[in-house]
Amino acid sequence: MTARTERRKTSSLANPTRSSRVTSVEIARELGVSQSTVSRALSDDPRIAQATRERVQTLARDWGYTPNAIARSLITKRTNIVGIVMNEITSPFYPFVLEKFSKELHARGWRVLLFTTDAEHEVDDLLPMILEYQVDGLIVASATLSSAMSQELSQRGTPLVLFNRYTRDARVAAVSCDNRAGGRVVADALLEAGHERFAFIAGRSDTSTSRDREAGFLECLLEHGVSDVMLETGNFSYESGFAAADRLLALPTAPDAMFCANDITALGALDAARQRGVRVGTDLSIVGFDDIPAASWSGYALATVRQPVDAMIASSLELLFRGIDSAQSSLESRFLPGELIRRASLRDVFSDASSNATKRSRKAARG
């Protein structure tokens, strides 16, 4: 009792003269045991005597001992660090992705080393610095790397998962929203609402997300006999959506339905329409993609395709950890379906504006 009280007095907080970082050797010396015993006691090795374990753990707590993960990593050859490379982190959708990855990984005892890029193909250049830190796995979100680099990773036994990107290379694991199917769902909904003049406002054309959403949209329209779709190109920004919609609505035969490559673009389009006095949700339907918070703001009420973020994260981590645990990566590409969220910017099927005739013919065509 007295002894313990005394030890508490020499705790790192109370005794600034002691070395600022306690090591297991110091604990061992103080207790007259070996350093191995300290290590084992702290990792709850069952072979250590109950009494010893308690003495060690108590002193460790009192002295504010923190195990050195760097030293541990060196000997175990495992850092418990996952690298996350994130492109366009400031685009509204990705902070949620990052937060969820971070939460999930922390909950499982993993740490996140973060790298940000603002160009899709910067990843290759970042890779050396990432690898220096011996990450046990790597997630690349909204960007890709060369196949030389992904080979380098598999060489080293560092699993990689692409998030919202994929490659033709079958040796890369990837999880993505099914953007093509999402585009189809939107086309279906717009056709069902009786629309006839369609437009697509693209994001950056070098992204598979935008291209696949467009492809699915056009493909489905074509299957329903619509081959003439107005195309505008934006860059995923509000301003580009605004400008593109403005150009479209100035046309002699303006579209009555717009699908935008992402929500931000759609919000810009929506404001452009409003500013021109076009009644969104009646004269014009606008649908976005992502379901960012602003889409559900009552000022917008933007219909959109919600990305299944939670499932995408879970899937990514499953693939990643399968690679980490088994040394044998499982190189699937997974495409998870988005969900159409109907809001006021999408004309209702039963509204006056969508003629009953049109509706019936669609139903017949489908049935």
Partner DNA sequence: CTGAAAGCGCTTACAG
Cβ proximity to DNA: between 47 and 168 the closer is: 47
Contact 150, 96 (CB under 8 A): no
Comparing CB distances to DNA, the nearer of 73 and 296 is 73
Going by DSSP bridges, is the β-strand pair 81-87/160-163 parallel, antiparallel, or unpaired? unpaired
Both tokens assigned to 182: 């999402």
**Residue 285, interface with DNA (CB under 7 A)?**
no
Per the CB < 8 A criterion, the answer to whether 89 and 120 are in contact is no
| Number of residues forming the site for its own copies (CB under 8 A) | 59
Report the residue from 77, 253, 277, 364 that binds DNA according to the rule CB under 7 A: 77
Q: Based on the number of CB atoms within 10 Å of its own CB, is 237 exposed (0-12), middle (13-18) or buried (19 or more)?
A: middle
> Which 304-363 positions form the footprint of its own copies (CB under 8 A)?
none
Per partner kind, with CB cut-offs from 5 to 8 A, the member of DNA, its own copies, none near residue 132 is its own copies
Q: Please state the φ and ψ torsions of residue 200, each to the nearest 5 degrees.
A: -120, 130
Residue 328 touches which member of DNA, its own copies, none, C-beta under 5-8 Å by kind = none
| Closest C-alpha to 296, from 245, 341, 347 | 341
Pick from 81, 85, 76: nearest CA to 135: 81
13 contacts its own copies (rule: CB under 8 A):
yes
Which residue, 35 or 167, is less far from DNA as judged by CB?
35
When the beta carbons of 71 and 251 are compared against its own copies, the nearer one is 71
Shortest gap between Cβ of 316 and its own copies (angstroms)?
17
* Sole window of 4-12, 75-83, 173-181, 226-234 interacting with DNA (rule: CB under 7 A): 75-83
Q: 195 — phi, psi (to 5°)?
A: -75, 155
Which residue of 37, 87, 117, 354 would you call a contact of DNA, by CB under 7 A?
37
Quick note: the x/- pattern for its own copies over 105-124, rule CB under 8 A, is: -x----xxxxxx--------
Q: Smaller CB distance to its own copies: residue 183 or 241? A: 241
Binding mask 40-59 for DNA (x = CB under 7 A): x-xx-xxxxxxxx-------
Per CB under 7 A, does 1 bind DNA?
no
Task: Count residues binding DNA (CB under 7 A).
Answer: 31
User: Which class for 110: exposed (0-12), middle (13-18), buried (19 or more C-beta within 10 A)?
Assistant: buried
Q: Which is nearer to DNA, 13 or 75 (CB)?
A: 75
For DNA, the closer of residues 73 and 235 by Cβ is 73
Query: Which stretch, 13-21, 215-223, 224-232, 277-285, contacts its own copies (CB under 8 A)?
Result: 13-21
80 versus 167: smaller Cβ distance to its own copies: 80
Binding site for DNA (CB under 7 A): 21, 23-25, 32-37, 39-40, 42-43, 45-52, 65, 67-68, 71-72, 74-77
Binding site residues, its own copies, CB under 8 A: 12-13, 16, 20-21, 64, 66-71, 73-74, 79, 81, 84, 89-90, 92, 94-96, 98-99, 102-103, 106, 111-116, 128-129, 131-134, 148, 151-152, 155-157, 238, 242, 267-268, 270-271, 274-275, 293-294, 297-299
